[in-house]
């Protein structure tokens, strides 16, 4: 897992969401409410605030709803096994690694992804 600084977390998250969203035929947030545009934006705002100035020295601590949103995006990236394209699978694995590094930095109290009991067409 790559090492991430608080200053880099927002950029990595933004890039990951953009890349994953480009690969979808529909809005992921419509299928998985934890990844809605509003919740994703709130998480990005929190990561940006945590990486700015003196806040960066204290680190980033995410609320439970932010962690659930981050976990939803990690699960989407983890769905790489559904692709026969090895380059796509490798790209998604890198994205998942980046998102897990953000999670390790900002939500160390959670050892595992939060459970999502809902079933979706994406299997997320």
**pLDDT tens figures, 87-112:** 888 888 999 999 999 999 888 765 55
User: Which residue intervals of 23-85 are DSSP H helices?
Assistant: 28-31, 37-50, 53-58, 64-78
What's the whole-model pTM score?
0.80
Whole-angstrom distance, CA of residue 44 vs CA of residue 61: 13
Q: Model confidence at 80, in pLDDT bands (50, 70, 90)?
A: low
């Amino acid at each position: 897992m790559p090492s991430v600084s608080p200053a880099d977390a927002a950029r990595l998250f933004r890039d990951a969401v953009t890349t994953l969203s480009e690969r979808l035929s529909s809005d992921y947030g419509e299928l998985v409410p934890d990844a809605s545009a509003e919740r994703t934006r709130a998480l990005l705002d929190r990561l940006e605030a945590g990486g700015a100035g003196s806040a960066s020295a204290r680190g980033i601590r995410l609320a439970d709803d932010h962690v659930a949103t981050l976990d939803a995006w990690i699960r989407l990236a983890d769905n790489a096994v559904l692709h026969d394209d090895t380059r796509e699978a490798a790209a998604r694995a890198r994205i998942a690694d980046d998102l897990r590094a953000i999670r390790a930095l900002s939500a160390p109290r959670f050892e595992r992804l939060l459970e999502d009991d809902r079933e979706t067409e994406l299997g997320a």
